[in-house]
């Protein structure tokens, strides 16, 4: 945990640069502190997820080694669903509010005909009555890399309170359904390999 | 687990919002520490994230799962977690937990059932009435339990101390009439979040 926290510190130290370099018309809040407080779940158990600052931009990226759902031959009965909850503390400067712009996922899917998969991402703040949910669906047959982008509708970002200094939560859930496939004869899996949080959207209050 | 809590404190300390530095607000409680213990939240499988303003926390579990049937050992049918909280109410007031939200997933074969039992008590005081939520198969879906006690059954901290609040979660899967040689049934909790803290004035001395 301490290790991920330090990585969180590294993210914080570097994030200011992206904000400055970002050519988007958003107001510039200056350097922003982002701390990774915890990352945990069946899909990102201790020792299976690594968090870093993405050189290609964004708030943070996570790579997973165990965020894999599987059904069919060899799959455990509880293997059809995995989740991961990330808690970040983001300190909005006075006079600014931010919104989570979205996330980009990559992975690999090997899905027998008849199976289907969904990846649901929820983002919310403390005591949030209006969490945002993105749902991606994968249809079979499929045997390929998977790249999914869940971007907030730029017309309706879900902003934090002004000057928010609280927790921001990102929750991901991956499910794989047997559907009409024959689990005694086939085996299917979906492996989520990384998630990148896109650069935050800022507004002046 | 201590490590996780310390990491949380370190975050707060770095940002200058530790409890020692911040004046105690008079309209809400301040969370001092959160500890976990139990077969469903053993070290390395559960994480606590306290918000930077110390008014909210989230517990995430990666292996809080009760299961019966194929692949389950006899002791897997029941898992527990005790969340121990130390909370500072505003001066001259006492508090009760006004509710807690638990999120998870259940996959239950026809005839099987699962139950989440919740009790809480302040160290040295009597235990709250048992509240339980039951799920019956066949189902395979998200589980959301918003556990909100009515005012009369809320358990308030005794005035004039800082007793530990213990929240006991007991998760059970029951085979019932399902065929455990052919099916697996399980319920997993992913996260627990307090919904509110209710304040009450202490008698003046």
The confidence score (pLDDT) of residue A130 equals 86
**Which tokens in the block code for residue A49?**
């997820």
The confidence score (pLDDT) of residue A56 equals 66
Chain B touched by A162 (CB under 8 Å): no
The confidence score (pLDDT) of residue A11 equals 47
Across the interface, of B47, B52, B60, the residue whose CB is closest to A166 is B52
Q: Are residues B186 and A166, on separate chains, in Cβ contact within 8 Å?
A: no
Peptide bond into B121 cis (omega under 30): no
The confidence score (pLDDT) of residue A27 equals 84
Across the interface, of B11, B186, B188, the residue whose CB is closest to A37 is B11
| Helix spans in chain B (H) | 2-14
The tens digit of pLDDT for each residue in B114-127 reads 999 999 999 888 88
Q: Do A169 and A39 contact (CB within 8 A), yes or no?
A: no
Q: Are residues A2 and B7, on separate chains, in Cβ contact within 8 Å?
A: yes
Which residues in chain B have Cβ-Cβ distances shorter than 8 Å to A85? 58, 60, 190-191
Q: Which ipTM score applies to this complex?
A: 0.78
**Which tokens in the block code for residue A45?**
């158990």
Residues of chain B with pLDDT under 70: 1-26, 205
Test the B interface: residue of A42, A80, A135 with most B CBs within 10 Å: A42
The pLDDT tens digits along chain A (205 residues) read: 333 333 444 444 344 444 444 445 568 888 888 889 999 999 999 999 999 877 666 788 999 999 999 999 999 989 999 999 999 999 999 999 999 999 999 999 999 999 999 999 999 999 888 899 999 999 999 999 999 999 998 889 999 999 998 999 999 999 999 999 999 999 999 999 999 999 899 999 9
In terms of CA atoms, which chain A residue is nearest residue B6? A2
Sheet order of strands, A81-91 included: A33-40, A81-91, A165-177, A116-125, A132-139
Could you give the 3-state DSSP secondary structure of residue B149? coil
Q: Are residues A78 and B58, on separate chains, in Cβ contact within 8 Å?
A: no
CA distance B124 to chain A (A): 31
The confidence score (pLDDT) of residue B25 equals 60
The confidence score (pLDDT) of residue B161 equals 82
Q: Do B147 and B131 contact (CB within 8 A), yes or no?
A: yes
Q: Which residues face B193 on adjacent strands?
A: B101
């Amino acid at each position: 945990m301490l290790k991920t926290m330090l990585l969180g510190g590294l993210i914080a130290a570097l994030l200011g640069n992206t904000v400055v370099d970002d050519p988007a018309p958003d107001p510039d809040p200056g350097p922003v502190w982002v701390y990774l407080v915890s990352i945990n779940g069946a899909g990102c158990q201790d020792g299976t997820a690594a968090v870093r600052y993405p050189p290609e931009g964004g708030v943070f990226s996570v790579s997973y080694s165990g965020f894999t759902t599987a059904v069919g031959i060899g799959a455990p009965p509880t293997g059809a669903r995995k989740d991961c909850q990330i808690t970040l503390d983001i300190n909005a400067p006075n006079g600014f509010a931010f919104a989570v712009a979205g996330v980009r996922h990559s992975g690999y899917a090997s899905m027998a005909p008849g199976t289907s998969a969904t990846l649901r991402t929820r983002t919310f703040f403390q005591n949030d009555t209006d969490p945002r949910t993105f749902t991606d669906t994968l249809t079979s047959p499929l045997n390929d890399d998977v790249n999914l982008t869940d971007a907030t509708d730029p017309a309706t970002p879900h902003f934090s309170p002004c000057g928010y200094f609280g927790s921001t939560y990102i929750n991901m859930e991956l499910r794989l359904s047997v559907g009409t496939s024959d689990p005694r004869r086939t085996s299917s899996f979906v492996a989520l390999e990384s998630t990148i949080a896109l650069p935050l959207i800022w507004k002046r209050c | 687990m201590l490590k996780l809590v310390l990491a949380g404190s370190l975050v707060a300390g770095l940002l200058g919002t530790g409890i020692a530095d911040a004046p105690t607000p008079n309209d809400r409680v301040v969370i001092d520490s959160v500890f976990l213990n139990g077969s469903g939240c053993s070290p390395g499988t559960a994480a606590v994230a306290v918000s930077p303003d110390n008014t909210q926390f989230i517990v995430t579990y990666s292996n809080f799962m009760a299961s019966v049937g194929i692949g389950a050992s006899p002791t897997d049918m029941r898992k527990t977690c005790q969340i121990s909280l130390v909370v500072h109410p505003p001066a001259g007031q006492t508090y009760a937990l006004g509710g807690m939200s638990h999120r998870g997933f259940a996959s239950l074969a026809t005839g099987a059932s699962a139950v989440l039992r919740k009790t809480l008590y302040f160290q040295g005081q009597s235990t709250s009435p048992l509240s339980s939520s039951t799920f019956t198969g066949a189902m395979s879906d998200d589980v959301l339990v918003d556990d909100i006690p009515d005012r009369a059954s809320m358990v308030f901290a005794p005035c004039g101390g800082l007793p530990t609040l213990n929240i006991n979660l007991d998760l059970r899967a029951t085979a019932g009439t399902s065929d455990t040689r052919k099916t697996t049934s399980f319920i997993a909790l992913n996260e627990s979040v307090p919904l509110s803290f209710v304040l009450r004035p202490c008698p003046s001395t």
